[in-house]
């Protein structure tokens, strides 16, 4: 194609196929004048026959012009020229393209991080990275290096506490870790926490003996309203809290926040051993009147000690005659329940403990066998009712604030005789508040899958169902989110659960920090108990 410059009439030959359909601006090589050249019409492009291609409509085979398809033999007459198939080259990139976002933001951010890492040890020397368990000794005081190293090792141990046993009092809780050491938290108005430094604690604190050493190892922990007890691995029984015969601290002027109260307890005793016991396996507290403590010995017999109108020495146990083959005990306000080796349940009324006589200590308590109950594996006596678990996983109970099912299928309230609790199957463990917890009748159960079920009163969210409606739940409901639970405990309008991984969870009333989550607010859903850090005795 021949084009001519409109200014100097200089002419030149160009390939018409290189001119875009919309035309193009060109420059004269002689006078440098710029002028527009339009694309020639398609008819002006004398396309040669050999440049024509044909596409088979049947198999899409593309080939030079022939009467039929060279692949499938179909006769066709659809042609198109090679220049029409030419693909236009992509337009060149703009001279001033937008720079990537990384160049504007990434580089300054990396520079800022580098400066922060450079000056971090100067302003925050505590965050300097040192090997684990390493303590830099002071040249001026070499004698303190060993003490600091021992403290660091103890702190490392405490920062990874895993629990294995729990118990709940009225407004305090007690737990043992996998080393057998004891931890307490919650109300401390009578020394239930074995500490004279605080009126309450909203996270676990380690229990120490009179010499200041960690208390343990233990095989069981128990609690009452104003007391805490533990059975050590050597079979001895220890008690701390309100001094027997004394009155609790009634100081209502304490001030604090988040469940922490200032001031210490009065009339309290630190962990004290009970004389003459070296083969205990469990201990329970009865508080229908003055407190009485019941000890289960390894040979299946029982002993009593406590403060009961002078009939019992305060901290000197008395063995009860006529009781043998007992493997579990539980004390409630209404009665004390015993489980024997043959799977039968025996009880004696709490009123008999309240009016304890010398005849009972000489002849033993008048036991009553609970008829229609056999093959029992777990027994729990509470403030208002008594529950048992059979070996088939069913739950049976009798007492107040309880909804049970008769054999006829009728739902019965406050059954006087054992009746099955509906809606519970494959249960392995139970919990309900012990004696002395007025209007605290709520119940917890664990099934074989590690799920927790709750029913009963719910004034402060102790059922863990996400609400704190006062109306009690008549039927058991599963607590969402709790899995792999191995043990539960019920206190005064609050609850505890122990997971198989050693963590603790709590919900319900939290006026004295008994939930152990460093808060003073009630929780209607399970929250995790704060793990101890440092030496476990730092300020919250």
* Co-location of 166 and 36 in the same domain: no
Please report whether residue 118 resides in a domain. no
Please report whether residue 350 resides in a domain. yes
Tokens of 245: 């015969």
Domain that holds residue 19: 1-41
Distance of CA 87 to the CA centre of its chain: 65
Q: What share of the chain is helix, strand, coil (3-state, %, to 5)?
A: 10, 35, 55
Number of domains the chain is built from: 2
Please report whether residue 64 resides in a domain. no
Tokens of 381: 């006596």
Q: Say what the pLDDT of residue 173 is.
A: 96
Tokens of 436: 């002395």
Distance of CA 253 to the CA centre of its chain: 34
Q: Say what the pLDDT of residue 27 is.
A: 79
Please report whether residue 136 resides in a domain. no
Q: Say what the pLDDT of residue 506 is.
A: 97
Low-confidence ranges of the chain (pLDDT < 50): 44-45, 78-85, 96-98, 124-158, 251-253, 309-313, 534-540
Please report whether residue 328 resides in a domain. yes
| CB of 386 closer than 8 Å to CB of 329 | no
> CATH no. for residue 188?
2.130.10.30
Please report whether residue 180 resides in a domain. yes
- Full-model pTM: 0.68
> What is the largest distance, in Å, between two alpha-carbon atoms of the chain?
141
Q: Say what the pLDDT of residue 281 is.
A: 96
Q: What distance in Å separates the CA atoms of residue 451 and residue 423, rounded to the nearest whole number?
A: 14
Please report whether residue 96 resides in a domain. no
Taken in order 417, 422, 428, 429, the sign of the CA dihedral is negative
Q: Say what the pLDDT of residue 110 is.
A: 81
Q: Say what the pLDDT of residue 229 is.
A: 94
Q: Say what the pLDDT of residue 498 is.
A: 97
Please report whether residue 144 resides in a domain. no
């Amino acid at each position: 194609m021949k084009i001519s410059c409109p200014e100097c009439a200089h002419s030149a030959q160009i390939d018409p196929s290189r001119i875009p359909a919309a035309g193009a601006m060109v420059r004269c090589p002689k006078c440098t004048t710029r002028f527009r050249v339009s694309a020639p019409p398609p008819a002006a492009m004398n396309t040669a026959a050999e440049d024509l291609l044909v596409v088979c409509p049947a198999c899409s085979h593309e080939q030079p012009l022939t009467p039929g398809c060279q692949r499938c033999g179909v006769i066709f007459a659809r042609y198109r020229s090679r220049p029409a198939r030419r693909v236009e080259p992509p337009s060149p990139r703009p001279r001033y393209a937008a720079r990537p976002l990384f160049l504007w933001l990434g580089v300054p951010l990396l520079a800022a991080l580098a400066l922060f890492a450079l000056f971090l040890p100067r302003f925050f020397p505590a965050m300097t990275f040192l090997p684990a368990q390493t303590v830099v000794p002071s040249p001026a005081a070499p004698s303190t290096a060993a003490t600091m190293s021992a403290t660091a090792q103890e702190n490392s141990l405490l920062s990874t506490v895993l629990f294995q046993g729990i118990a709940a009092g009225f407004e305090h809780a007690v737990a043992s870790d996998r080393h057998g050491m004891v931890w307490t938290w919650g109300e401390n108005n009578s020394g239930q926490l074995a500490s004279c430094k605080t009126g309450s604690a909203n996270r676990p604190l380690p229990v120490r003996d009179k010499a200041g050493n960690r208390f343990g190892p233990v095989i069981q922990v128990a609690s009452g309203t104003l007391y805490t007890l533990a059975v050590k691995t050597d079979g001895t029984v220890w008690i701390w809290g309100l001094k027997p015969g004394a009155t609790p601290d009634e100081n209502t002027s304490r001030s604090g926040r988040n469940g922490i109260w200032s001031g210490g307890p009065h009339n309290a005793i630190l962990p004290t051993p009970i004389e003459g016991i070296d083969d205990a396996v469990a201990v329970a507290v009865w508080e229908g009147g003055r407190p009485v403590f019941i000890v289960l010995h390894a040979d299946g017999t029982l002993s009593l000690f406590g403060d009961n109108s002078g009939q019992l020495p305060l901290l000197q146990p008395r063995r009860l005659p006529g009781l043998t083959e007992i493997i579990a005990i539980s004390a409630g306000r209404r009665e004390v329940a015993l489980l024997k080796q043959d799977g039968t349940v025996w009880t004696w009324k709490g009123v008999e403990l309240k009016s304890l006589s010398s005849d009972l200590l000489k002849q033993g308590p008048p036991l009553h066998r609970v008829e229609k109950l056999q093959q029992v594996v777990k027994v729990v006596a509470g403030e208002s009712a008594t529950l048992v678990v059979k070996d088939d996983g069913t739950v049976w109970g009798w007492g107040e604030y309880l909804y049970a099912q008769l054999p006829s299928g009728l739902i019965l309230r406050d059954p006087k005789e054992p009746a099955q609790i509906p809606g519970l199957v494959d249960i392995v463990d139970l919990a309900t508040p012990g004696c002395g917890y007025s209007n605290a009748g709520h119940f917890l159960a664990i099934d074989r899958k590690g799920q927790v079920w709750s029913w009963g009163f719910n004034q402060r969210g102790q059922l863990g169902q996400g609400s704190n409606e006062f109306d009690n739940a008549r039927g058991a409901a599963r607590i969402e989110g709790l899995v792999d639970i191995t043990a539960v405990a019920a206190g005064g309008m609050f609850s505890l659960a122990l997971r198989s991984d050693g963590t603790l969870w709590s919900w319900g009333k939290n006026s004295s920090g008994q939930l152990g989550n460093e808060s003073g607010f009630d929780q209607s859903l399970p929250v995790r108990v704060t793990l101890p850090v440092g030496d476990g005795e730092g300020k919250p």
